[in-house]
Amino acid sequence: MRAQWNVKHITDKITQLSDIENFIFCSHF
């Protein structure tokens, strides 16, 4: 259960990071 939560937490973080990268990329161009 805990390992599963950690995986979800990590994937959420990766999603957040890519969203931020997309936002920065879009705002620059």
Higher pLDDT, 3 or 29: 3
- Residues 13-29: tens digit of each pLDDT: 999 999 988 888 877 66
Average pLDDT over residues 3-15: 87
Higher pLDDT, 7 or 5: 7
Q: What is the pLDDT of residue 16?
A: 93
Looking up tokens 């259960």 gives 1
What CA–CA distances, in Å, run from 10 to 15, 22, 25, 26? 9, 18, 22, 24
Q: What is the pLDDT of residue 5?
A: 76
Q: What is the pLDDT of residue 2?
A: 74
Tokens found for residue 16: 């957040």
Counting other chains too, the contacts that 1-10 makes at CB distance below 8 Å and 24 or more residues apart are none
Domain coordinates in residue numbering, the chain = 1-29
